[in-house]
Structure 1
Amino acid sequence: MKQLFTILFIIALCSSCKDKNKIRNGKLKVVTTTTMITDLVRNIGGDSIHVQGLMGSGVDPHLYKASEGDVSKLSNADVVFYSGLHLEGKLVDVFKKMGRNTNTIALAEILDKEKLIGSEYFASNFDPHIWFNIEYWKQLTNYLTEQLSALNPENTSYFEANKTAYLKQLDALETDIKKTIATLPKEKRILVTAHDAFNYFGEAYDFEVVGLQGLSTATEAGVQDVQNLAKLIIDKKVKAIFIETSVPKRTIEALQQAVLSKGFKVEIGGTLYSDALGNAGTKERTYLGMFRYNVDTIVEALR
C-alpha cells in the first residue's frame, strides 16, 4: 500500500510539472519497456530521439515491477512504447493510473488478433511472445515508424529511411535462419524450454515447441509437469533441452534429472534468449543478433 501511494504521488507530481513543449526544445523523449522494444525504437528513431529503456538484459517482463525512478521516467516521457498483449502485466496498472498524462502505445496491438496464438491461460487471451515471428516484427516496425512520424513530423523522412534499412536487415535475417533450420531434419525439430515463449517461432519455422512452465514465468511447474515432459523427451528421443536467460535454470535442471532417473540422457543444449536480449557489447544485445544466436544454438544442439 505504501509503495502504491508513493507511485501515485510521483505520477501526480510529474504530471503537474511536465513540460508539454519538450519536443520543441530538444529530442523526442521516449521510454520503452522490454529490451526488444528498446532495440526496435533505437533502430528507427536513431539520433533524432532520446530513448530510455526500463528493462535490462536478463529481466523477465512478466514479473517486472515499476520502481519509483521508472514512474518518474514514464511520467516525463513524450511517449511510452511497450510490447502489449499483457506481456508487461505488472506495468499495466501504472499506465492506467497515469491516464492521459502520458502517451502510451502498445505496439503488438496492431497485429491481427485472429492470426495470433490464443491462450485462455494468459491475461490477454493471446500468447504475447510475438517477436519470435519475424513477419510480425516487420509489422511492428511499420507501425512504430508511423507513430514516431506522427509525433515528430519533421523527421519523417529520417524515420522512413531507417525503417527501409531495418526491414532489409529483417529480410536477410529470415533468409539466413531458414537456411540454417533447413539443415535440421524435421523429426529432430522438437524444442523443449523453460516456459512457453517460442510458440510463434515453432509455428513459423516448423518446430514442435514444449515449455515446462506456461506462457508466463509466474506459472510454477509442478512435479507432474516435469514427469509428463520427461516422458515426452524419452518417447521422442529428444537430444537436448534449453535454459532461458530470463528464467531460473533450476526447472530445466530438474527436468534433466527426471529424464536421467528414467535411464535416458538428455543434454542441456545451451541458453536461449526468450524475454530479453543479451548484454551490452555482445551480438545478442540486438534483436537481429539474438535471433541468429538462438537459431544457431538450437540447430547445433538438436542436430
Structure 2
Amino acid sequence: MKKLIVLLLVPFFLLAGCGNESGNATQSDAEGKINIVTTIAQIGDIAKNVGGEHVQVESLMGPGVDPHVYEAVPSDIDKLENADLIYYNGLNLEGQMNQIFEKMQEEKPTYAVAETIPQEKLTADPENPEVADPHVWFDIQLWQYAVEEVTNALIELDPDNKADYEKNREAYSKELDELHEYALQNAEEVPEKSRVMVTAHDAFQYFGDAYGFEVMGLQGLSTDSEFGLKDVQRIVDTLVERDIKAVFVESSVSDEAINAVVEGAKDKGHEVEIGGEIYSDAMGPEGTEEGTYVGMFTHNIDTIVNSLK
C-alpha cells in the first residue's frame, strides 16, 4: 500500500511540473530569496544558518515525524515543485520518497547531503552490510560533510553571495566543533560500565561510536522493522547484568518497545526508569532550543549523561 501511494503521487508531481511551465512565479521569485525545501529539520537548520538572509527554508518533516515511514502528500509535491533548491538526507532514510527525488533531480538542483560522506566513514547495518546507516547527524564531525554540501550547492546556484555563504558556513562549523567538544567532555562523566544507551530503534550507532557509548536498539535501522520477545530479553539481560538503571524513549517513535523492556526488567527484580525523551529522527518544535540542531544535540547529551552517571 505504501508503494502504491508513492506511485500515485509521482504522476501528480508530473502534472504539477507541467503546470509550472506556464511561467507562474514561485514564492521565492516574489520575495527575492532562494526557496529551499528539505526533508528533515536537521538539514533545514544547516540551510538556515548557511543561507542566512538570502534564503527561506521549509522542512517537510516536523517534530515527531518519522522519516522512515513518511509518505508524501500532494501539498509536499507543491512545495517541492516551487522550490529553487531541494536537500534530502539520502542513504534510504526517506525510503518512501526515493522515486520523487529521482524525478526532481532531472528538473532542479536536488541533493542527498549524507551521500557525500566517504563510504569508508559510514556504518553498515549489521544485518545487511550493503545498507548504510542513514543517521549520520549524530556524529557531528560527519555532519560537517552535509554542511559543506549545502554550502556548495548554494554557491553554485547563487555565486553572487558566495562570500556570505562561506562566512556563515565558517561560523556554523565553529559552533558545531564546540558542540562536539562539549559532547566528548560530558560523556566522560558517565562511568565506562554504565555507558549503555537503550533506545527503541537503532538510530544512535554514530553517536555511540563518536562519544563512547554502547548502543542497543530493539528495532533495526528503520522503525519499519519489528521486534520480538528475544529482542526484549536480550536487552533486559544486559540491563540486569550491567546494572543499567535508565532507558530512553524517542520523540518520533512509539514508546511501546521501551515499555516492554522496563516491564521485562521489573519481572526480574531490576528497576529501570525512563531516563527521558531524546530526539532521534526528528528535532523539537520550531522556535524552541530543541528545534535547532545544536539545541537538539545538547538536549540529548545532557539527558543521556544525567540519567546514566
Asked whether the two chains share a fold, i.e. TM above 0.5, the reply is yes
Q: Which residue number in structure 1 is paired with residue 162 of structure 2?
A: 156
**2:163 counterpart letter in structure 1:** S
> 2:260 is matched with which residue?
254
Q: Does 1:9 align with 2:39?
A: no
Which structure 2 segments of 5+ residues have no match?
Answer: none
Per-residue CA deviations over 1:37-74 (Å, capped at 9, x if unaligned) read 11111111112012121110111010111000101111
Residue 113 of structure 1, CA deviation:
0.6
Backbone CA RMSD of aligned residues: 2.0
Match of 1:96 in 2: 102
Query: 1:14 touches 1:72 (CA, 8 Å); kept in 2?
Result: no
**Displacement of 1:11:** 2.6
The alpha-carbon deviation at position 6 of structure 1 amounts to 5.1
> TM-score, structure 1 length as denominator?
0.94
Partners of 2:201 and 2:217 within 8 A in 1: yes
- TM-score, structure 2 as length reference: 0.92
- Specify the alignment match of 1:240 in structure 2: 246
Give yes or no for contact 2:12–2:74 (8 Å, CA) kept in 1: no
Residue aligning to 2:91: 85
The aligned runs of 1:1-303 (5 Å cut-off) are: 4-5=7-8, 7-18=10-21, 19=23, 26-98=32-104, 100-119=106-125, 121=127, 125-303=131-309
- Residue 17 of structure 2 aligns with an amino acid whose one-letter code is C
Q: Which amino acid aligns with 2:48?
A: R
CA separation of 1:6 and 1:296: change in aligned 2, threshold 3 A: closer
Following superposition, the deviation at residue 291 of structure 1 comes to 0.7
Q: Check the 8 A contact 1:11/1:98 in 2, yes or no.
A: no
Number of aligned residues: 303
Helix, strand or coil for the counterpart of 2:61? coil
Note closer, same or farther for the CA distance 1:122–1:49 as it changes in structure 2 (3 Å cut). Answer: farther
CA distance in structure 1 between the partners assigned to 2:35 and 2:127 by the alignment: 35
The question of whether the paired residues in 1 share the 8 Å contact of 2:183 and 2:211 is answered with no
For residue 298 of structure 1, give the secondary structure of its aligned residue in structure 2.
helix
Residues 11 and 72, structure 1, Cα contact 8 Å, conserved in 2:
no
Q: Tell me, yes or no, if the aligned pair for 2:10 and 2:99 is still in contact at 8 Å.
A: no
User: Structure 2: how far apart are the matches of 1:225 and 1:287?
Assistant: 31
Does the 8 A contact of 2:197 with 2:213 survive in 1?
A: yes
Deviation at 1:2, TM superposition (A): 7.3
State the Cα distance separating 1:169 from its structure 2 match: 0.6
SS at match of 1:94: helix
Q: Which amino acid aligns with 1:56?
A: G
Instruction: Return the alpha-carbon distance in structure 2 between the equivalents of residues 5 and 152 of structure 1.
Output: 34
